Structure 1
Amino acid sequence: MAIKWEGVMPAVTTKFTKDDELDLVTFEKNINAQLEAGVNGIILGGTLGEASTLTPAEKETLVKKTLEITAGQVPVIINIAEQSTKEAIQVAKNAEAWGAQGLMLLPPMRYKATDYETVVYFKEIAKNTSLPIMIYNNPVDYKIEVTIDMFEELLADCPNIEAVKESTRDISNVTRLKNKFGDRIKILCGVDTLALESMVAGADGWVAGLVAAYPAETVAIYKLVKSGDIAEALRIYRWFMPLLELDISPQLVQNIKLAEVATGLGTEYVRAPRLVLQGAERERVKGIIDAAMAVRPELVEYKSL
């Protein structure tokens, strides 16, 4: 399946039972809600998906289950976040064998690679798979920035590098990428609190987090912006902002899973060393969610926009 790299692509949470096993029943309920809302792809095993805690067998199960649920409606993409090039290449090969239709690549984990090392890392993965690739550029959280010069070399040598999850927190980077590469690389905003602004600047899509709990609101914002109804998109976005801010936190997984409970699309269970929110912090986050739920906006018909 060809990937257009546009629209809303949820970075979904991984659902666990109280016994720390995969909860595929709740997972399927959430994926179906994403499809019903009109998302354009499903991304597995990102930061929000607790990738670093998943076993290879669990990743395989999630890919195959998602392919079963989506049944060809949207592409299924898996994130690669490994400590060595050898491991990353193996995950890419596994993903292709399991039937995944695309990859999202983070730079090397734990080791702060140089620009040269980072480019070589991405190139080695790209040449060992036929799958289309989206580079995840998040220097704030992962301390390595993929610069315009680095992208120039990657795009020249790797035709299957097709998109970037733009998470530099610098909206002007959308314009720089467009000015330099045009449509050679698609741009998807990776920061929930900058999504509307990034799309107005020309981003092609949104790799979203709070979509896990609020799929319809997320897709509606995207559709409204792209149809030119900025005023209606802003109405929803302004309501959404306190929730979107839950995504820019070290506890984003716990925060968003608590929001999924509020909308009936998930549970709070996380995998250790993460633990569910406790005490005053849990009450603070729950207060934000409850306040938003009390005034959850009515949505216009957005799917046909």
Structure 2
Amino acid sequence: MDNFTEFNKSETRCEKQELVSDEIGRIACIVFLSAIVAITVYGNLMLIVKVARRKQFHRKINVFVISLAVADLGVGLLVMLPSIVHEFTRILSLEKHVTDKLLFLFDCMFTSSSVMHFTCMNVDRFVAVSKPFTYFRIMTSRVVSLLIVLCWGVPLGISLIIIARTEMKKCDNAIIVNGAPALSGAFIAFYLPVFLNFLAIVNIYRNVCNQDKLLCNQIKNSNPGYSERHQKRETRVTRTLVILQIAFTLCTTPFFVLLILEHISGVRYSNTTWFALSWLGYFNSTINPYLFYFLNKRLKTSR
């Protein structure tokens, strides 16, 4: 995510500021951020194991949850950890151009993959609440597999296009990225999907509320207990998805808003500001598994 930030129009900005000047502060930052990485890795591994052990993959939402957890795990191991090494040490040398582009690819791909997963989850929820009786005929294994491929393929494609159209320069352990590819990538990978997801989740929530009575009336004669359980489950899953997307938006929006502001106004914000906002976005991968875990009663009671 922070790889979007180092851009300019005149290509005259070629300066890397130290985030922390003193050695004690640097060590403290490394320890603190490494703890966040550990929490991120543990949380997502825990979620993957918990969901996989339940073996309830007939509920397609669980497939997307595992895939999202894998993406968040990738953020922890392949984005957050290299970010610490890059910012506070000189182990990753920019003389290795291939390594630079690989880290840049991971940064763009994993941090934009979450929004694609939420988009696919919204598709699943929309079908579940609008067509509950034909859900399993629509959301087949083939359809779910296609959506999972899109969750990973679209971010990868966007990242490769940005890299191909971006002029990357070595500059005191920093990468300079021109504004046009960064902004177009931000629009395609963030603003547009978030806007569409917002419209989708509002529509899904309305469907859940409006179909409570209709669904109950249609099936209560055959199985009254199932009616109540089914509707509670759909409402709970939808509520969890709403909370997860709100958390994602709160964590990532400041970064992309500042990206637009810097490009429009020409004001150059400090590296510390960009680093903090980048890690606020990364932090969403830390809280996702814990939010899902604590909002899912059945998952908490499973062993």
What's the TM-score, normalizing by structure 1? 0.27
Of the two structures, which has the highest relative contact order with CA contacts closer than 8 Å and spacing of 6 or more? 2
Question: Which has more helix, going by share of residues?
Answer: 2
Question: Which has more strand, going by share of residues?
Answer: 1
